[in-house]
Amino acid sequence: MPEISIVLVEPLYEGNVGFTARVMKNFGFTQLVLVNPCPLGDDAIMRASHARDVLENAQRMTIEEIYREFDFVIATTGEVSKSVCTPMRMPYYSPAEVREIVADIDGSIAILFGRENWGLANTELARANLICTIPTSKVYPILNLSHAVGILCYELANLPRGTYPLAGPIEMDSLYQHIETFLDKIDHPDFKRENTMLLIRRVLGRTKLTTREVSTLHGLMRRTEWHLENKE
């Protein structure tokens, strides 16, 4: 079964953190991670109610640690791109679609929720494997933080056991670095580089590559590089 952690990035209000712990436990989730949170006191404990254990056992991590230690990272956003030409928040998936994508993963998954006032920064979104958004009314699209967590937890509750292990963060970072080098060797234009790498991360991130598949991609690039270096 996927091992899912709920990650709150710089939450502003302790009450929301408490309510998040409570709704997580409602649906059987206990792994809460906090990135630079506000001070937590009696209000958070009161809002957590019988999920005080989830709140008190929450891990403290940095964004860098999240991307280094989790096999698959899902970033949530209320604002989505309007065109595939601006890929930072696209393609995006609903919570129900996310369930189908992660159901067969045997690995650790982090679901990132951003700040109550402005969500996740582009730098935090850029490295995510998958972008998730909750379909809401255009009349009032902004959800309370704990409500958004509750919707994702409801959709992801009682997932079946995973069937295969994913390539880990170190393996994926090595692949992306190899692709960067490969782009140099094929004279890929510098002005396109950032967008190209973002698109590659989006495509490969959501494909849930195994270790063997990563190795195969390395092999294909190495073979291509050999031919480029030895062409007549």
Residues of the chain with CATH 3.40.1280.10: 3-164
- In this predicted structure, the answer to whether residue 159 has a pLDDT above a threshold of 90 is no
The mean of the pLDDT values for the chain is: 90
The DSSP element (H or E) to which 33 belongs, if any, is: strand 32-35
pLDDT band at 85 (very low <50, low <70, confident <90, very high): very low
Q: What is the pTM of this model?
A: 0.78
Q: How far apart are CA 11 and CA 145, in angstroms?
A: 9
Q: How far apart are CA 201 and CA 182, in angstroms?
A: 15
Assigned superfamily of 3-164 = SPOUT methyltransferase, trefoil knot domain (3.40.1280.10)
- In this predicted structure, the answer to whether residue 136 has a pLDDT above a threshold of 50 is yes
Confidence (pLDDT) at 139: 86
Query: What tokens were used for 59?
Result: 């891990």
Confidence (pLDDT) at 84: 46
With a pLDDT cut of 90, the percent of the chain lying above it is 66
Which residue type sits at 119? G
Question: If you average pLDDT over residues 57-69, what whole number do you get?
Answer: 96
